[in-house]
């Protein structure tokens, strides 16, 4: 009763043996489902795949999941999960995962835009982790540091490109950079390029 998702018990034929509506549903009586089959309430293209998922769960006695979409004014995303009770019955759960899917899509789209902005920027940009290891860089950064292309910088350490007396300062700057609420002045550095030149920069 505490689980907000749709719960049901079915046999190997997909017949509802028990049914508890999701808390967000209009509370259709369980009697409307019990005795009927999963396939009676689903589009043919989904019905066939969800029955295959059920049968696999009963055969293997392992939890099986099946993601699917349903269009009703808007597209909603769901995940059906079958947990076998034995070889002939399974507990089913259907969860609305629309918010999670939409959220992940927004993150991926944001990451793509972020990466594109780095690539097209005229300013040298380097992305590093907390250890100061370079994850990615753009072409202006490669030109500044004297490498043939930006891929040559991946895996290098930022400390490799600053003078020894400034390495502690760059370590502190990287550490402070991961504190979102902290604002600090630009750091003046002497860069050591791969061809041995020194360049005064502001980071």
Say how many Å lie between the first and final Cα of the chain, rounded: 56
pLDDT values of the chain reduced to their tens digit, one per residue, 203 residues = 778 888 999 999 999 999 988 887 766 788 889 999 988 988 887 888 999 999 999 999 999 999 988 776 777 888 999 999 999 999 999 998 888 887 887 777 878 888 888 888 888 998 888 888 998 899 999 988 888 888 889 888 888 888 888 888 888 888 877 776 666 678 888 888 777 788 888 88
Q: What confidence score (pLDDT) does residue 148 get?
A: 82
Q: Is the pTM value of this prediction over 0.85?
A: no
| Cβ neighbour number for residue 66 with a 10 Å cutoff | 20
Q: What confidence score (pLDDT) does residue 181 get?
A: 61
Measured over the CA atoms of residue 112, residue 113, residue 116 and residue 122, the dihedral's sign is negative
How far, in Å, CA of 2 to CA of 40, rounded? 27
């Amino acid at each position: 009763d505490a689980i907000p998702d749709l719960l049901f018990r079915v046999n190997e034929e997909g017949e509802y043996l028990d049914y508890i509506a999701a808390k967000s549903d209009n509370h259709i009586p369980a009697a409307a489902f019990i005795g009927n089959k999963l396939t009676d309430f689903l589009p043919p293209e989904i019905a066939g795949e969800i029955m295959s998922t059920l049968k696999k769960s009963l055969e293997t006695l392992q939890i099986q999941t099946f993601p699917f979409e349903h269009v009703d004014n808007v597209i909603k995303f769901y995940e059906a999960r079958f947990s076998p009770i034995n070889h002939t019955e399974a507990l089913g759960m259907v969860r609305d995962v629309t918010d999670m899917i939409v959220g992940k899509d927004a993150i991926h789209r944001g990451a793509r835009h972020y990466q594109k902005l780095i690539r097209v920027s005229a300013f040298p940009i380097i992305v590093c982790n907390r250890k100061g290891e370079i994850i990615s860089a753009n072409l202006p950064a490669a030109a500044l540091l004297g490498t043939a292309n930006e891929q040559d910088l991946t895996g290098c350490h930022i400390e490799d490109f600053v003078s020894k007396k400034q390495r502690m300062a760059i370590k502190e700057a990287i550490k402070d950079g991961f504190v979102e609420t902290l604002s600090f002045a630009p750091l003046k550095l002497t860069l050591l390029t791969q061809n041995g030149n020194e360049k005064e920069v502001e980071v």
